Amino acid sequence: MVRQSLWGDSVVVMNYGGRTDVSTVDWSGKAVCVIFFRGCQMRCVYCHNYHLLEGKNLVDVSEIISYLSLAKNFVSGVVFCGGEPTLQKEPLLEISRAAKHMGLGVGLNTNGLRWQVINEMVEKGLLDFISLDVKAPLSKPELYGRICYSDERKCDVEKIRKALDIISNVKEAEVRTTIFTNLLTPEDIRLIADDIKNTSAVYVLQEGMSVKGRFEYRSPTPSEMMEYADAALDVLDRVVVRGREGEKIVGRKRV
């Protein structure tokens, strides 16, 4: 988004959703700050950031860049999160360029629908880490739609497929699926593992957590999480299981 300043210059602004100064969970092995972009084209049934899906809080990107120039003293990277950052291409690219210029790593959490923006970031050398949500098997666009739009619309899974085609060009890539036992079955996870098997991404199974009074889908128990992991391991050599007890890498049992 671009607006005119009082002096007639063009100023890039972002619809800003807030920030976390230091996070050690948004980019494995790194301390990063997290910048939240407001607005998203999805309405996932289990969205934890629903307060960021709408509304306007326009901030000049130079304020974010000034913040990063201080933050670089205590973090090694910045992760863009939301909402959906790729809906705001100009501020996303401008802040990413500035962050790279300062020597910070740049990470992106995305739902993948605007794969063209991801591609542009990759081609411009602006992306060091990507975390792509794959919310359901790509062979089940109706199920995908029920999860990501909370209604009967089908998801255009071809766009997610395009995003998957790109992520192997990013130095560090993960694909993430959030699991509630009454939304996805272990067989669905095996199908997603098949969808992503030709990428270089690490597959992360994330324990879904209910928000009381808002959505109360069934969170998996630790042993159920391992059943989902086993289903992915029919296809992949290893998966990461992430939940309230932390994160562990699970490998395929060799016989």
Q: Which residues of this chain interact with ligand SF4, rule CB under 6 A?
A: 40, 42-44, 47, 49, 53, 82-84, 111
Cβ distance to ligand SF4 smaller for residue 13 or 113 = 113
Cβ distance to ligand SF4 smaller for residue 134 or 202 = 134
Cβ distance to ligand SF4 smaller for residue 76 or 206 = 206
Cβ distance to ligand SF4 smaller for residue 106 or 132 = 132
Sign of CA dihedral 232, 234, 236, 239: positive
108, 6 in Cβ contact below 8 A?
no
Nearest distance, CB of residue 42 and ligand SF4, angstroms: 4
Q: Give the SS3 label for residue 77.
A: strand
Q: Specify the DSSP element, H or E, that contains 144.
A: helix 141-149
78, 91 in Cβ contact below 8 A?
no
Nearest distance, CB of residue 40 and ligand SF4, angstroms: 3
C-alpha 54 chain-centroid distance: 18
Nearest distance, CB of residue 95 and ligand SF4, angstroms: 18
DSSP class of residue 11 equals E
Nearest distance, CB of residue 44 and ligand SF4, angstroms: 3
